[in-house]
Amino acid sequence: MIFCNTYILSALYTAAEKAGRHEEAGMIARISPIAWRHINLRGRFEFQKQAYFDIAEIIRVLDEKTDWQKLKETEEPPEQVPYFTFSGG
C-alpha cells in the first residue's frame, strides 16, 4: 500500500509542478503515503493471480476530480468510498 500510495502521490505532485500549480504540489507533498483510508482492507486479496488495474487511470481520475483548492492544510478530507479495491474472482 505504501509503495502504491507513494507512486500515486509522486505522479500527482509531478503533474501539479509541471502545470505550475505550486500551491497544490505543496499540499500533495504533505500527504502521508502511509494513509490507507481510501483502500478497502476488508476486501479479498489474492496475490497468486495476475490482477490488472490501470494505475495511470487512477492517477488521471484523482488529478481530475480532486479539488485541491477546497482542501485546507488543517482540514481532513471528507470520508470517501475507497478509490479502488482488489478482489479475486
| pTM for this predicted structure | 0.61
Give the bridge partners for 39, in sequence order.
84
* pLDDT of amino acid 77: 54
C-alpha cell recorded at residue 89: 474472482
* pLDDT of amino acid 62: 83
Which pairs with CB-CB distance under 8 Å and at least 24 residues apart come from 64-69? 68/16, 68/21, 68/23, 68/24, 68/27, 68/28, 69/24
* pLDDT of amino acid 13: 93
> Rounded to whole angstroms, how far apart are CA atoms 63 and 59?
6
Question: Mean pLDDT, the chain, as a whole number?
Answer: 76
pLDDT of residue 17 exceeding 70, the answer is yes
Name residues whose C-beta falls within 8 Å of residue 7's C-beta, 6 or more positions apart in sequence. 55
C-alpha cell recorded at residue 52: 490488472
Residue with more model confidence, 49 or 13: 13
